[in-house]
Amino acid sequence: MPSLLNICVALIGLTLGTATVHAAEFSCDIAKKGRSVTLTQSGQTVTYAYGKPGAAPELALTVPLSAIELYAWEGIGRHQNYSIGVPNGQYLYTVYTSYDSIEQSTSTGVTIEKGGKYLTDFLCDPNTVRGDLENMVLDLKARESSTR
Protein backbone atom coordinates (compact mmCIF):
# COMPACT_ATOMS: atom_id res chain seq x y z
CA MET A 1 0.00 0.00 0.00
CA PRO A 2 1.49 3.39 -0.94
CA SER A 3 2.37 5.70 1.90
CA LEU A 4 0.83 9.13 2.31
CA LEU A 5 4.22 10.67 1.50
CA ASN A 6 4.45 8.75 -1.82
CA ILE A 7 0.92 9.84 -2.74
CA CYS A 8 1.74 13.49 -1.95
CA VAL A 9 4.95 13.35 -4.01
CA ALA A 10 3.05 11.82 -6.96
CA LEU A 11 0.34 14.49 -6.74
CA ILE A 12 2.91 17.27 -6.60
CA GLY A 13 4.62 15.80 -9.66
CA LEU A 14 1.30 15.70 -11.55
CA THR A 15 0.50 19.24 -10.48
CA LEU A 16 3.85 20.64 -11.56
CA GLY A 17 3.84 18.85 -14.94
CA THR A 18 6.96 19.78 -16.89
CA ALA A 19 8.40 21.63 -13.91
CA THR A 20 8.99 18.30 -12.17
CA VAL A 21 12.71 17.79 -11.59
CA HIS A 22 13.95 14.87 -13.66
CA ALA A 23 17.36 13.51 -12.75
CA ALA A 24 19.55 11.01 -14.58
CA GLU A 25 23.13 9.95 -13.94
CA PHE A 26 25.85 8.12 -15.82
CA SER A 27 29.35 7.36 -14.57
CA CYS A 28 32.40 5.20 -15.16
CA ASP A 29 35.99 4.85 -14.04
CA ILE A 30 38.65 5.84 -16.55
CA ALA A 31 40.80 2.79 -17.26
CA LYS A 32 44.35 3.06 -15.87
CA LYS A 33 43.86 6.68 -14.68
CA GLY A 34 42.45 6.26 -11.18
CA ARG A 35 39.76 8.80 -12.06
CA SER A 36 36.04 8.68 -12.74
CA VAL A 37 33.69 10.73 -14.84
CA THR A 38 30.07 11.45 -13.95
CA LEU A 39 27.29 13.10 -15.93
CA THR A 40 24.23 14.18 -13.99
CA GLN A 41 21.20 15.72 -15.61
CA SER A 42 18.80 17.46 -13.28
CA GLY A 43 16.08 19.87 -14.32
CA GLN A 44 17.48 22.13 -17.00
CA THR A 45 21.19 21.47 -16.40
CA VAL A 46 23.87 18.84 -16.96
CA THR A 47 26.84 18.49 -14.63
CA TYR A 48 30.11 16.91 -15.77
CA ALA A 49 32.50 15.88 -12.99
CA TYR A 50 35.98 14.35 -13.30
CA GLY A 51 38.29 13.25 -10.53
CA LYS A 52 39.29 10.56 -8.07
CA PRO A 53 36.38 8.37 -6.97
CA GLY A 54 35.09 9.38 -3.55
CA ALA A 55 36.94 12.73 -3.56
CA ALA A 56 35.95 16.24 -4.57
CA PRO A 57 36.02 16.53 -8.39
CA GLU A 58 39.14 17.99 -10.01
CA LEU A 59 36.84 19.47 -12.67
CA ALA A 60 33.12 20.12 -12.25
CA LEU A 61 31.05 21.89 -14.89
CA THR A 62 27.34 22.63 -14.75
CA VAL A 63 25.83 23.89 -17.99
CA PRO A 64 22.29 24.51 -19.22
CA LEU A 65 20.73 21.87 -21.45
CA SER A 66 20.76 24.40 -24.29
CA ALA A 67 24.60 24.43 -24.23
CA ILE A 68 25.25 20.68 -24.43
CA GLU A 69 25.92 18.80 -27.65
CA LEU A 70 23.87 15.63 -28.12
CA TYR A 71 24.36 12.84 -30.61
CA ALA A 72 22.12 9.80 -31.05
CA TRP A 73 22.59 6.98 -33.53
CA GLU A 74 20.38 7.56 -36.56
CA GLY A 75 19.76 3.88 -37.33
CA ILE A 76 22.36 3.47 -40.07
CA GLY A 77 25.78 1.85 -39.75
CA ARG A 78 27.36 -0.75 -37.54
CA HIS A 79 28.36 1.66 -34.74
CA GLN A 80 25.49 2.74 -32.53
CA ASN A 81 26.89 5.94 -31.02
CA TYR A 82 25.39 8.10 -28.27
CA SER A 83 27.13 11.07 -26.69
CA ILE A 84 26.77 14.17 -24.56
CA GLY A 85 29.27 16.99 -25.09
CA VAL A 86 29.81 19.51 -22.30
CA PRO A 87 31.54 22.77 -23.29
CA ASN A 88 34.01 24.68 -21.11
CA GLY A 89 35.40 27.68 -22.97
CA GLN A 90 37.53 26.31 -25.83
CA TYR A 91 37.27 22.77 -24.45
CA LEU A 92 34.60 20.18 -25.16
CA TYR A 93 34.31 17.08 -22.95
CA THR A 94 32.26 14.42 -24.74
CA VAL A 95 31.11 11.34 -22.85
CA TYR A 96 30.16 8.60 -25.30
CA THR A 97 29.13 5.00 -25.69
CA SER A 98 29.43 3.05 -28.92
CA TYR A 99 28.11 -0.42 -29.66
CA ASP A 100 29.68 -2.23 -32.64
CA SER A 101 26.93 -4.50 -33.97
CA ILE A 102 29.36 -6.68 -35.95
CA GLU A 103 31.95 -7.19 -33.21
CA GLN A 104 29.17 -7.12 -30.59
CA SER A 105 31.29 -4.99 -28.30
CA THR A 106 30.74 -1.72 -26.50
CA SER A 107 33.26 1.03 -25.84
CA THR A 108 32.60 3.91 -23.49
CA GLY A 109 34.78 6.88 -22.72
CA VAL A 110 35.46 10.59 -22.83
CA THR A 111 37.02 12.57 -25.65
CA ILE A 112 38.52 15.99 -25.11
CA GLU A 113 38.77 18.65 -27.80
CA LYS A 114 40.23 22.13 -27.70
CA GLY A 115 39.14 24.68 -30.27
CA GLY A 116 37.52 21.90 -32.32
CA LYS A 117 40.72 19.83 -32.44
CA TYR A 118 40.86 16.36 -30.93
CA LEU A 119 43.24 16.07 -27.96
CA THR A 120 42.63 12.68 -26.38
CA ASP A 121 40.27 9.80 -25.67
CA PHE A 122 40.01 8.19 -22.23
CA LEU A 123 38.37 4.76 -22.29
CA CYS A 124 36.22 3.63 -19.39
CA ASP A 125 36.76 0.35 -17.61
CA PRO A 126 33.68 -1.56 -18.87
CA ASN A 127 33.14 -3.16 -15.46
CA THR A 128 32.57 0.25 -13.86
CA VAL A 129 29.92 1.71 -16.19
CA ARG A 130 26.86 2.77 -14.16
CA GLY A 131 23.72 4.22 -15.69
CA ASP A 132 22.40 4.24 -19.24
CA LEU A 133 23.95 6.93 -21.44
CA GLU A 134 21.89 5.89 -24.47
CA ASN A 135 18.59 6.48 -22.69
CA MET A 136 19.91 9.69 -21.13
CA VAL A 137 20.73 11.03 -24.62
CA LEU A 138 17.40 9.91 -26.07
CA ASP A 139 15.51 11.52 -23.18
CA LEU A 140 17.40 14.80 -23.60
CA LYS A 141 16.84 14.78 -27.37
CA ALA A 142 13.10 14.24 -26.82
CA ARG A 143 13.01 17.14 -24.37
CA GLU A 144 14.99 19.27 -26.83
CA SER A 145 12.58 18.58 -29.70
CA SER A 146 9.51 19.22 -27.52
CA THR A 147 10.73 22.74 -26.68
CA ARG A 148 11.12 23.80 -30.30
Q: Kindly give the confidence (pLDDT) of every residue in the chain, 148 residues in length, as a single tens digit, with 9 standing for 90 and above.
A: 333 333 333 333 333 333 334 479 999 999 888 999 999 999 999 999 999 998 999 999 999 999 999 999 999 999 999 999 999 999 999 999 999 999 999 999 999 999 999 999 999 999 999 999 999 999 999 887 776 5
- Is residue 115, in this structure, part of any structural domain at all? yes
- Structural domain count of the chain: 1
75's enclosing H/E stretch is none
Range of the domain at 28: 21-146
Q: Write down the pTM of the prediction.
A: 0.82
Q: How far apart are CA 144 and CA 44, in angstroms?
A: 11
- Is residue 8, in this structure, part of any structural domain at all? no
